[in-house]
Chains A and B, each alone.
Chain A
Amino acid sequence: MQNKNNRLEEPKSESKYRAKIRGSMQHRLDKYRERSNANIERGLARTINLKDYKSEFLSKDEPETVGRVFMNGLLLDNPVLFNALGAVLIVGVCSTVQNAVLLSLLVLVLLIVNEFMASLFYKNAPPEIRLMAHVLTAALVLLPAGAVAINANATALNSFGIYLPLLCVSGLVTVRSEVFAIKHTLKLSMADALGNGAGFAWVAILIGAARELLSFGSVAGYPITGKVFGAGINYPFATFLMIGFLAALLKHLRRRHYQKNADAQTPSEEVQSDD
């Protein structure tokens, strides 16, 4: 039987053999819990097959600096292309550059506020409640932010449809707050929020520009060519395919970047002549 602290209860009198069995069971229970928590920290679902690029390219001793955290969010560990966070928003909303820019600004505001709150106030909350807290914080921030955005451009924001309220349950905001901000200082959390916001923004604007160009022959409202592919390119399948190929390209470039750095750091062997 387990007591309130999830430890196996010690009976009042037991043999050495039983004590040994109980000890090994406790050890197994602790290891299981540790593994479960590690899986949760890796991304809230058991993403066994999504390898963390840091384990592949970086050594464990490298310290996390503001610049590194920002670059991770922007490029090296892009939330959309390497972690599938926020893809639903790009699929549903980013059919034009204008929509993409507006969405990116809203996401940035939500990320900054959520990671701020998570880093300062939510560290000691139970894990089951924390995600709910992130969602409610995002919803409370989205209401005034959405009102300001509606005042600025009501037509664009109305075209978001059902995807506007989904910003608060989007994985980008909740997962970054839970996986990063909870475990790091305020400075690093703000760098992470800015990095991930910028990383989301460039992907969203690129996809929005491509979709607008292919559907309407224009970019940001300026006509470039005539109508090319028609409205078919605005379906979700086209966006998923675009994101997939963009992710492959960035993954290839990232590997080349780290291989070049690794080659530059290894000293070349000089052949010494015997003359």
Chain B
Amino acid sequence: MTEIGRIISYALVLVFAENILFSRGLGSDVVLRLSVNPKDFFRFGIILTTATMISSVIGWGFSAVVSLLNVDIANPSLRLLLRTLVYLICLSALYVAFDRFMNKHFETRYSRFRKAMPIAIFNTAVLGAPAILARMEIALANTANLNGFLAALFVGAFVSIGFLIAVALMSEGIKQIESMDLPYAFSGLPARFIYIGLLAMAFSAISGRQADF
């Protein structure tokens, strides 16, 4: 039961306290520019969330392969850059293969999603999910007995759920903002920035952080 409790608490942390959008700002460049059209939001949000989850699992697989190769680079930032480059090349190859396959066999259905796919795959949220997994791997293995593929799936799933909740909140809020009679200077993007800031403040309160004012 203790392990189940820890798993649940980690899940809640990933969804709320360490929400990928509100706690780290990842994916904000895409979410702030989202249209409030419900069809667009639904399609794009689902694709983005799925891509984030899959990216976490691919990132785990990629880390396992890299650790087998035993590449030793002293500086952590340089190591991270090199891994990111190779990871992006793998992700690009997978995307091209997926795009060709879907376009060949499911052209009609895929055409509705095709134009949104590149933005949904190559953005900060999708690339940030493996990084979050890398930071939580050891804690998950030691305290919740989740390691390897299970940890990747767990982190990917709950980071994506947190992101979907964040996108839903942003979409609803943007819809309300667009229908309000705001002063000219605050209409449009400034109001969206302030709204996302207020939501991030609320989420940081959920995490129990206190600013020492």
State yes or no: do A and B come from one complex. yes
Partner of B81, one of A84, A91, A165: A165
The answer to whether residues A132 and B189 also contact, given A171-B29, A236-B200 and a CB cut-off of 8 A, is: no
A235 CB contacts on chain B under 8 angstroms = 200-201, 204, 209, 211
> Do the beta carbons of A86 and B29 come within 8 Å of each other?
yes
Residue ID in chain A nearest B93 by CB atoms: A132
> Do the beta carbons of B32 and A87 come within 8 Å of each other?
yes
How far does the alpha carbon of A241 sit from the alpha carbon of B201 in the complex, in Å? 10
Residue of A45, A172, A174 with most partner-chain B CB within 10 A: A45
Residue interface bits B4-41, CB-to-A below 8 A is 1, else 0? 00000000000000000011111111101111110010
Find residues 163-213 in chain B having any chain A CB closer than 8 Å to their own CB: 174, 178, 184-186, 188-194, 196-201, 204, 209-213
A160 CB contacts on chain B under 8 angstroms = 77
Partner of A171, one of B23, B123, B197: B123
> Do the beta carbons of A81 and B189 come within 8 Å of each other?
yes
Q: Kindly state whether residue B71 has any CB partner on chain A within 8 Å.
A: no
Q: Kindly state whether residue A68 has any CB partner on chain B within 8 Å.
A: no
B116 CB contacts on chain A under 8 angstroms = 45
Q: How far does the Cβ of B74 sit from chain A's closest Cβ, in whole Å?
A: 10
> Do the beta carbons of B190 and A88 come within 8 Å of each other?
no
22 contacts between A and B (CB under 8 A): A44-B119, A45-B33, A46-B35, A81-B190, A84-B32, A84-B193, A91-B25, A128-B99, A128-B114, A128-B115, A132-B118, A162-B128, A230-B213, A232-B209, A240-B25, A240-B194, A240-B200, A241-B193, A241-B194, A244-B190, A248-B190, A255-B185
> Do the beta carbons of B29 and A150 come within 8 Å of each other?
no
> Do the beta carbons of B128 and A247 come within 8 Å of each other?
no
How far does the alpha carbon of A171 sit from the alpha carbon of B85 in the complex, in Å? 17
B27 CB contacts on chain A under 8 angstroms = 88
Interface SS majority for chain A: helix
A251 CB contacts on chain B under 8 angstroms = 184-185, 188, 190
Find residues 108-137 in chain A having any chain B CB closer than 8 Å to their own CB: 127-132, 135-136
> Do the beta carbons of B118 and A131 come within 8 Å of each other?
yes
Partner of B92, one of A43, A92, A132: A132
> Do the beta carbons of A43 and B33 come within 8 Å of each other?
yes
Partner of A139, one of B44, B85, B126: B85
B67 CB contacts on chain A under 8 angstroms = none
A249 CB contacts on chain B under 8 angstroms = 185
> Do the beta carbons of B85 and A247 come within 8 Å of each other?
no
> Do the beta carbons of A49 and B209 come within 8 Å of each other?
no
How far does the alpha carbon of A147 sit from the alpha carbon of B82 in the complex, in Å? 10
Q: How far does the Cβ of B73 sit from chain A's closest Cβ, in whole Å?
A: 10
Residue of B174, B191, B193, B211 with most partner-chain A CB within 10 A: B193
> Do the beta carbons of A150 and B75 come within 8 Å of each other?
yes
B35 CB contacts on chain A under 8 angstroms = 45-49
